[in-house]
Structure 1
Amino acid sequence: MGAVWRNHGTTIVLAALLLPVLSFAAYRWRCRSGSRRQAAAEVGLVAGSLPWAIMIFTPQKAPRSVDLVPLHDLPSWLSGTADTGIAQLGGNLLVLAAFGFFLPIRFAAMASLRRVLVAAVATSASVEALQWLLAIGRVSSIDDVLVNTLGAVLAATSSRRWWADEGRRIDQAASLNT
């Protein structure tokens, strides 16, 4: 955890201080032009994703690398120190958690676990590809994609009560139109 704090401490502190205030302001502004539910979901998507985006695109002093073998990096995350395991596994689970939690609430068309899964895979794979293309000293790994996606789907599952009925209505309307 020391490395996480050393590399991202400023981002963590700024997020903790600024995001609540900015989120409240954005929520109040968006409520004027839309529903409170959509405003809260939009703010949650941005506020919950922005700090992670900053962290995962912060350049590191290492050569870029790619690992396309599934479950190859995961054992090294867990066999190191507890701090490394928590930072790697926990961090990767949280990267797309806000995305998975709020996406189906904000966009009724995304109100299914399958759709969240597909969107999370596409988003995470895009992030890993960008990390490699930008040559910012990050490891682009299929394990990151798998764990980021798992985090998004688990978060979507935890928010399901707020979007499941809406998704069923969309699917029923689509089946009636065909």
Structure 2
Amino acid sequence: MRQTWVLWGNVIIAGTFALFFGVLAIMLLARRRARRGHPAPLRTALADVGIVVGTAPWIWMILTPATGQEGVSLVPFKDLAWIASAPWETVFVQVGGNLLVFAALGALLPVRTARMASAARVAAVAAGASALVEVLQYALRLGRFSSVDDVLINTLGAAAAALVTRRWWASHISVGPNSR
């Protein structure tokens, strides 16, 4: 855990400060959308800003150059099997972190739009975004290991987060003139 703070403390601090600016952005965006007659200005502003503020720090961490082993693993569950035999701290950071990478996206995308009000659609978007990040890690030679297992865990985290917010999905909420 201490090593995590040493490596990523700056991201954690920046992410914490981003929360203040996120709240400000939500208020301004909701006000602007309300003036333009948007049917759900606060909900969509919260979802839009929440996706960015909740995902950007993770992407920053993932795309930060490191001095680790580079490579690619395309065999599903191979890296997970290795991680399972690692110390619990490594398991916690690797699996827990990968579950959270696209959790904000997964939780808020179906809240944002009825078109994405499906765990399968959220999973597809998260899988695509995760695969892109893994390709970037490899292509940019960041000193990181690109793994299909990371894509699987990132996707699982997004889909699980989507199911947690199912009650608030856009398809379940009336967006008529009285719902502003």
Residue by residue, what CA displacement relative to the aligned partner does 1:45-80 show, whole Å, maximum 9, x if unpaired?
A: 011001101100110013421000000001222211
After superposition, residues 1-150 of structure 1 pair within 5 angstroms as: 1-16=1-16, 18-34=17-33, 35-150=41-156
How many residues get paired?
168
RMSD: 1.8
**Other structure's SS at 1:39 match:** helix
Task: Give yes or no for contact 2:114–2:171 (8 Å, CA) kept in 1.
Answer: no
The AA in structure 2 aligned to 1:31 is A
The AA in structure 2 aligned to 1:2 is R
Q: CA deviation at 1:135?
A: 0.6
Unaligned runs of 5+ residues in structure 1 are: 170-178
Q: CA deviation at 1:166?
A: 4.2
Determine the C-alpha separation between the residues in 2 that align with 1:63 and 1:144.
15
Determine the C-alpha separation between the residues in 2 that align with 1:63 and 1:143.
16
Determine the C-alpha separation between the residues in 1 that align with 2:82 and 2:29.
44
Structure 1 length as normaliser, TM-score? Answer: 0.89
Structure 2 length as normaliser, TM-score? Answer: 0.88
Identity %: 44
**Other structure's SS at 1:33 match:** helix
**Other structure's SS at 2:169 match:** helix
Determine the C-alpha separation between the residues in 2 that align with 1:141 and 1:98.
21
Q: CA deviation at 1:39?
A: 0.6
Q: CA deviation at 1:105?
A: 1.1
Residue by residue, what CA displacement relative to the aligned partner does 1:115-171 show, whole Å, maximum 9, x if unpaired?
A: 11111111111110111111101110000000000000000000111116349x9xx
**Other structure's SS at 2:67 match:** coil
The AA in structure 2 aligned to 1:33 is R
Determine the C-alpha separation between the residues in 2 that align with 1:127 and 1:65.
14
Unaligned runs of 5+ residues in structure 2 are: 34-40, 176-180
Does 2-11 or 35-44 show the bigger shift?
A: 2-11
Task: Give yes or no for contact 1:125–1:145 (8 Å, CA) kept in 2.
Answer: yes
Determine the C-alpha separation between the residues in 1 that align with 2:169 and 2:87.
39
Task: Give yes or no for contact 1:42–1:106 (8 Å, CA) kept in 2.
Answer: yes
Determine the C-alpha separation between the residues in 2 that align with 1:63 and 1:113.
34
